[in-house]
Amino acid sequence: MKTFKTVVIAGATGTLGYPITEAFLNDGSYKIKIFRKKPESKNEKSELLASKGAEIVYVDYTQKGDLVKALKGTDVVISALSPKKMGGDFYSTQLSLLEAAKEVGVKRFIPSEFGGEYGPDIAHPFIEVKIKFREVLEKSGLEYTNIFNGFFFDCLQYLGFDLKNKTVQFYADPNSKVQVTSLEDVGKYTVESLKLPEARNATIRVAGSTVTFNEILQMFEEATGSKWKVIEDREIRHRYRNKIEPIPSIIDDFKVFICENGALSKLDNDKFSFTPRSLVEYINTMVKNS
Ligand SMILES: NC(=O)c1ccc[n+]([C@@H]2O[C@H](COP(=O)([O-])OP(=O)(O)OC[C@H]3O[C@@H](n4cnc5c(N)ncnc54)[C@H](OP(=O)(O)O)[C@@H]3O)[C@@H](O)[C@H]2O)c1
């Protein structure tokens, strides 16, 4: 196994990047640098990460020379950039990072995957850029690890579970299985993947819980002690594709896509040293604190 000392995290101030960076800082075995896009800007999360020991480095992702300079001495690059926020820049930014990483001899690259198990045959316009980049990375000669963790616990509202109004919108068959993982555990899995021989040039699939949408609803109903109103609309993708009124938004089309394709083919949890947080515990705490 190669040994890694310096880890760069791009997008460390984001929803995912922050807990990944925290997990590395908690582990304490690595020198952590976070890349932030130029120009310098005030950011509470980056200040917190800096106070815990991370070095903030401002880069111009469009300037290869800038990236090469900033990446010198780096062993691992982790991208937590977002296709949703960055649009077309997501692919080109990850590609610039990869090219600069190759030039300076970075040992491993972890791309911004961290979701479902999508491939060229299972794609949506929002994530095609992820698949395209993964293909380039896997052929690049640079060591890689793809991490698939299903949905983040924090995305339950996005997936239709509305705690405030006690309603659920099912975007897929309520009996279909999906994987869900806490952001804290995604961070811990990412850290531990660096010590796992099986993670070298491989895809790692992990989850806090494997559940059906109906089981998630049951957890909410038990935690709130009340029956929730169910909205089920199985026609969203059909209406979206054929522009049938009321035409759903591309966001709703995406929600159907991720809910219909939310199951991972297998899990690698047993290769890791810790037991992840379960969804039922998360929901009980969420309801108690609401
Ligand atoms: N599995 C799930 O349920 C789930 C849910 C949400 C997201 N995800 C995935 O997690 C990954 C990260 O998403 P996220 O929601 O955490 O991202 P995010 O919160 O939008 O954060 C991305 C970070 O990237 C940087 N950034 C933003 N715009 C940029 C630009 N134009 N150029 C360069 N950097 C830019 C920003 O950091 P600075 O300003 O500090 O540079 C930002 O904090 C993605 O792959 C996403 O698909 C998965």
| Band of pLDDT at residue 103, cut at 50, 70 and 90 | very high
User: Which of 9, 13, 16 for a ligand 1 pocket mutation test, highest count of atoms within 8 Å of Cβ?
Assistant: 16
Contact indicator for 26, 18 with CB cutoff of 8 Å: no
Q: What percentage of the chain exceeds 90 in pLDDT?
A: 92
Distance 231 CA to ligand 1 centre (A): 30
pLDDT at 87 over 90: no
Higher pLDDT, 85 or 130: 130
3-state helix/strand/coil string of 264-288:
CCCCCHHHCCCCCCCHHHHHHHHHH
Q: What is the mean pLDDT of the chain?
A: 96
Convert the pLDDT of each residue in 163-206 to its tens digit.
999 999 999 999 999 999 999 999 999 999 999 999 999 999 99
Q: Which pLDDT score is estimated for 1?
A: 65
Q: What is the DSSP string of 112-170?
A: S--S---BTTB--TTTHHHHHHHHHHHHSSSEEEEEE--EEGGGTTTTTEETTTTEEEE
Distance 220 CA to ligand 1 centre (A): 28
| Band of pLDDT at residue 259, cut at 50, 70 and 90 | very high
Q: Which pLDDT score is estimated for 121?
A: 86
Nearest CA to ligand 1 atom 21: 14
Domains of the chain: 6-148 (3.40.50.720), 152-181+208-290 (3.90.25.10)
Distance 175 CA to ligand 1 centre (A): 30
Name residues contacting ligand 1 (CB within 6 A): 11, 13-17, 36-37, 43, 46, 61, 80-83, 85-86, 89, 93, 112, 114-115, 151-152, 155
Contact indicator for 97, 61 with CB cutoff of 8 Å: yes
> Phi first, then psi: what are they for 284, rounded to 5°?
-60, -45
Q: Which pLDDT score is estimated for 184?
A: 98
Mean pLDDT over residues 75-90, rounded? 92
Taking phi over 0 as left and psi of -120 to 50 as alpha, with beta for the rest, 256 belongs to alpha
Nearest CA to ligand 1 atom 24: 11
Token pair in block for residue 233? 């609309």
- CA distances, 33 to each of 8, 87, 211, 269 (Å): 5, 25, 36, 28
* CA nearest to 74, candidates 111, 31, 28, 110: 31
Distance 144 CA to ligand 1 centre (A): 19
Convert the pLDDT of each residue in 16-50 to its tens digit.
999 999 999 999 999 999 999 999 999 999 999 99
If DSSP codes are grouped into helix, strand and coil, which group holds residue 62? Answer: coil
- CA distances, 236 to each of 84, 115, 245 (Å): 20, 22, 10
Nearest CA to ligand 1 atom 46: 82
Token pair in block for residue 132? 């395209």
pLDDT at 2 over 80: no
Q: Which pLDDT score is estimated for 286?
A: 97
Distance 173 CA to ligand 1 centre (A): 29
Amino acid at 276: P
* CA nearest to 257, candidates 154, 128, 132, 153: 128
Distance 188 CA to ligand 1 centre (A): 18
Residue 155 CA, closest ligand 1 atom number: 3
